[in-house]
Amino acid sequence: MEFTLRPATQADAWSIRWLVWRAALNPTDLAWQRFIVATGPDGKVIGCGQIKPHKDGTHELASITVERQWRGQGVASAVIQRLIQQHPDTLYLMCRSPLGPFYHRFDFRSIEEAQMPPYFRSVSRLVRKLNRLRPGREGLLVMKRPGILPETA
């Protein structure tokens, strides 16, 4: 099945929120203006993702989700590749531990807490504390993709 990528419009805001909510992702800071959406042949939003800026100047690949029936067809990969093309600087992401290998193909690597910017360190600590209260929960990975440095003359 074919899909199309495009920048989100205001009309996509509820579809984005719905996808993020159904995937149990962080529902905060979902400004539609930062999103790329994937649409199916009927024009319906089937996937999305964003680059989320943080106060400390870091940028996060975030809100990557795809409708269940479209998974395994390259939708998430295409969204991620487009977002990386648009933002070739250093990127961070947070994901459930089992998803680490998926993000390796985009040059993201797990980082230790000492290497994390403050926002990611605080979220990582909070999730670790919550997981102690609820055993059996998946761990959280914080990953980093180095930016492409401009060539020097």
At 117-127, the pLDDT tens digits run 999 999 999 88
Please give the pLDDT value at position 134. 72
Instruction: Work out the average pLDDT over 118-138.
Output: 82
Q: Would you put residue 111 in left (φ > 0), alpha (ψ -120 to 50) or beta?
A: beta
For 78-108, what is each residue's pLDDT tens digit?
999 999 999 999 999 999 999 999 999 999 9
Amino acid 61: pLDDT? 98
Record the pTM: 0.90
Enumerate the domain spans of the chain: 4-145
Q: Decide if domain 4-145 falls under CATH 3.40.630.30.
A: yes
Mean pLDDT of 29-34: 96
